Amino acid sequence: MNSVILLLGYMGISIIGIASYFLGVFHHFGLISLLNQLVNTYTPSQWQVFRLPRWVRNFLALCYHAVVLGCHMIAIHDVLPYIEQDKTSSSINMAALMYHMWLIHTLFYLMCVLTDPGIITPSNCKSLCRIYKYDGVLYAPSAVCSTCNNAKPPRSKHCSVCNKCVHRFDHHCMWINCCIGAFNYRHFIGILVTGIIMCCNGLLITLRFFNTIYQTRKLYAYKYIDSYGQKQPLSGIVLAQYQFYHFPRPFLLACTLLLLAGLLIVFTAYHLLLISKNKTTNEVYKLEKAEVSQRLKSEGYYNRGILSNILEVVAPPSSAV
């Protein structure tokens, strides 16, 4: 009964997030953010042709909700009933952690998409221009956005999709359909970190599920007949085939979580490296194209030391200090 109540509560939170998205509460941003890293042979004017249509971006954002909700539904329907039979504290803690991290992850998501990423307007343009110094390479004092007709603060970039300039622009996340800037970057990191915890914890729960099946059904005593007609103990491949045949959803869940955990760990490590050097994804791409020293490409212009860099992400300045 407690599991059902918690499930309904967390499903309600996810449904609210999806409904809010379709009602237009969320910012209607979206772009293939990784193209400017993966397709380095194209200039910005050239890779604009690869921009996804709005319906595709909306579909990808919906896929994010579907993956999160679908994985939890499989875990609750197929996996947890076996785990709950194990009354050990570790099993109970893993199940509780799954629910709590789902809630925290959803809250980070809502804060990320509902927080102004740092949209530059005529009213805040002057104050944002004083936060950072112009480096004279990527950002010049005389720069003016040809679309917004506002002065371009250092570290800002105009988004051609949302048609806004964004302060300390990092990238556009096509999966959460949101622009990542100065004031929601910390929430974006929260999404990544909680996503890793959810995937790793879910993977451990699923592996414990398969171990429970292995022990309760005494699969270690099973034999199979090979192509020579000889009885052989179950190998890892044969055991995996057995688990996939009898429990396809948990098996696919484990594979999905393993893949997502690996991708999220790499992506999060990349962003933590950027934070440690006070750089953005946009600046990394532009510095690779600029004719500057290798040291500037590596360290960046705005590096103030790792502690100050982290503090700047956790509590981003909204005006000049």
Catalytic residues: 173
Contact 191, 204 (CB under 8 A): no
Q: What does the alpha-carbon distance between residue 236 and residue 164 come to, in Å, rounded to a whole number?
A: 54
Residue type, 147: T
Q: What does the alpha-carbon distance between residue 278 and residue 294 come to, in Å, rounded to a whole number?
A: 16
Residue type, 265: I
Measuring CA to CA, which residue among 317, 288, 315, 314 is closest to residue 300? 288
Q: What does the alpha-carbon distance between residue 120 and residue 153 come to, in Å, rounded to a whole number?
A: 9
Q: What does the alpha-carbon distance between residue 94 and residue 100 come to, in Å, rounded to a whole number?
A: 10
Q: What does the alpha-carbon distance between residue 119 and residue 159 come to, in Å, rounded to a whole number?
A: 10
Query: Quick count: other Cβ atoms within 10 Å of Cβ 79?
Result: 24
Q: What does the alpha-carbon distance between residue 207 and residue 81 come to, in Å, rounded to a whole number?
A: 14
Measuring CA to CA, which residue among 126, 125, 155, 150 is closest to residue 138? 155
